[in-house]
């Protein structure tokens, strides 16, 4: 019934084993209400398609994108190629990427109908084996509620296991509605102090905390996993980790998944012409992660880190 609803997806990755049980396909939806300074998927933060430029692939003698751009936003001289990002941000054609024959320009963010997405997932379903499925991530998947709900309903009708990863800065009623249609839910908890949360993500944490409480109290029978990104200098102080552990334990939840900060998304910032505030931040050491794990374990929580997650 909803098969024609369209959603903007900036990536689909098969064969993942980190975001739910078994072998999974990850679907990344564009648009997010937060703007975390360490975000590994900056191309998915805004609710629109964006052009990404990889200089290494660009052919020095080529000018195809210069000619193709209807907004005169590309300039090429002896020092290289430059995009006027202010114009690109409002571009409705992305003709430059269509003109590029060398994959130096590519578009992140393509509209799919639910039917088109399900065709991809049914193809992947043969590779999942027992226990695999699909995980909706982003960006923030609940930022496209009509598409997400329609896709989840179609997945259930096709007997696919589903998981949703959310930042939880979303309407509570919508989050509770999504619970009806997903098997697992991952919710990020980033900081217990609202001012610090706002400084790192652009928004306070009140709605997120309320939503975690609402899910915990919903009597939902799916698996609910709180995820804590460990971001050096932002949220890794013992005091904050203890406050997080106490909050999660008081709600009667049992598990926490720590996600160490990494810089795997750094090249995407370059490709988008953006500054990456965490470009020189080192990932947390093993000692820091072990100490964090001990804090959550002391609160009676089962705590596991990154890819060690026992899904």
* Residues near ligand SF4, by CB under 6 A: 51, 58-59, 62-65, 69, 71, 73-74, 81, 83, 87-88, 91, 93-96, 99-100, 102, 104-105
Nearer to ligand SF4, 58 or 249 (CB): 58
DSSP H helical ranges for the chain: 64-68, 85-88, 95-99, 114-128, 145-157, 172-179, 194-201, 206-216, 238-250, 266-272, 286-298
d(CA 20, CA 186) in angstroms, rounded, equals: 9
Nearer to ligand SF4, 63 or 122 (CB): 63
Q: Which of 250, 249, 240 is nearest to 292 (CA)?
A: 240
Residues 6+ apart with CB under 8 A from 262: 40, 283
DSSP assignment letter at 1: -
Nearer to ligand SF4, 91 or 164 (CB): 91
**Smallest distance from the beta carbon of 101 to ligand SF4, in angstroms?**
7
**Smallest distance from the beta carbon of 110 to ligand SF4, in angstroms?**
14
Q: Please state, as a whole number, how many other Cβ atoms lie within 10 Å of the Cβ of residue 40.
A: 17
Per DSSP, the three-state class of 29 is strand
**Are 75 and 66 spatial neighbours (Cβ–Cβ below 8 Å)?**
yes
**Smallest distance from the beta carbon of 236 to ligand SF4, in angstroms?**
38
**Smallest distance from the beta carbon of 204 to ligand SF4, in angstroms?**
34
Block residue for tokens 């505030």: 277
**Smallest distance from the beta carbon of 240 to ligand SF4, in angstroms?**
40
d(CA 138, CA 43) in angstroms, rounded, equals: 10
| Distance from chain centroid for Cα 170 | 14
**Are 163 and 23 spatial neighbours (Cβ–Cβ below 8 Å)?**
no
Q: Please state, as a whole number, how many other Cβ atoms lie within 10 Å of the Cβ of residue 72.
A: 9
**Smallest distance from the beta carbon of 69 to ligand SF4, in angstroms?**
3
Nearer to ligand SF4, 71 or 262 (CB): 71
Nearer to ligand SF4, 164 or 272 (CB): 272
**Smallest distance from the beta carbon of 88 to ligand SF4, in angstroms?**
3
Nearer to ligand SF4, 95 or 255 (CB): 95
Nearer to ligand SF4, 100 or 108 (CB): 100
**Smallest distance from the beta carbon of 48 to ligand SF4, in angstroms?**
11
Handedness of CA 178, 182, 188, 189 (dihedral sign): positive
Nearer to ligand SF4, 62 or 291 (CB): 62
d(CA 35, CA 18) in angstroms, rounded, equals: 23
């Amino acid at each position: 019934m909803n098969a024609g609803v369209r959603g903007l997806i900036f990536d689909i990755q098969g064969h993942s084993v980190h975001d739910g049980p078994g072998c999974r396909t990850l679907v990344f939806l564009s648009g997010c209400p937060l703007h975390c300074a360490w975000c590994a998927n900056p191309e998915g933060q805004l609710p629109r398609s964006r052009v990404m430029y990889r200089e290494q692939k660009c052919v020095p003698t080529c000018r195809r994108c210069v000619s193709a751009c209807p907004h005169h936003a590309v300039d090429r001289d002896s020092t290289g190629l430059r995009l006027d990002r202010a114009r690109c941000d409002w571009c409705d054609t992305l003709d430059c990427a269509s003109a590029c024959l060398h994959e130096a320009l590519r578009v992140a963010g393509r509209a799919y109908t639910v039917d088109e997405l399900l065709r991809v997932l049914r193809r992947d379903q043969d590779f999942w084996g027992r226990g695999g499925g699909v995980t909706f991530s982003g960006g923030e998947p609940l930022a496209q509620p009509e598409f997400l709900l329609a896709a989840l309903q179609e997945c259930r009708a096709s007997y696919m296991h589903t998981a949703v990863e959310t930042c939880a800065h979303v309407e509570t009623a919508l989050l509770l509605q999504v619970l009806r249609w997903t098997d697992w839910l991952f919710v990020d908890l980033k900081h217990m102090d609202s001012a610090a949360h706002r400084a790192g993500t652009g928004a306070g944490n009140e709605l997120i905390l309320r939503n975690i409480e609402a899910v915990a109290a919903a009597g939902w029978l799916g698996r609910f996993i709180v995820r804590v990104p460990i971001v050096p200098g932002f949220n890794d102080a013992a005091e904050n980790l203890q406050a997080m552990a106490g909050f999660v334990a008081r709600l009667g939840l049992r598990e926490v998944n720590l996600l160490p900060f990494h810089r795997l998304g750094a090249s995407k910032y370059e490709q988008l012409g953006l500054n990456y505030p965490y470009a020189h931040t080192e990932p947390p050491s093993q000692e820091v992660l072990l100490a964090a794990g001990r804090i959550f374990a002391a609160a009676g929580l089962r705590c596991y880190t990154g890819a060690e997650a026992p899904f």
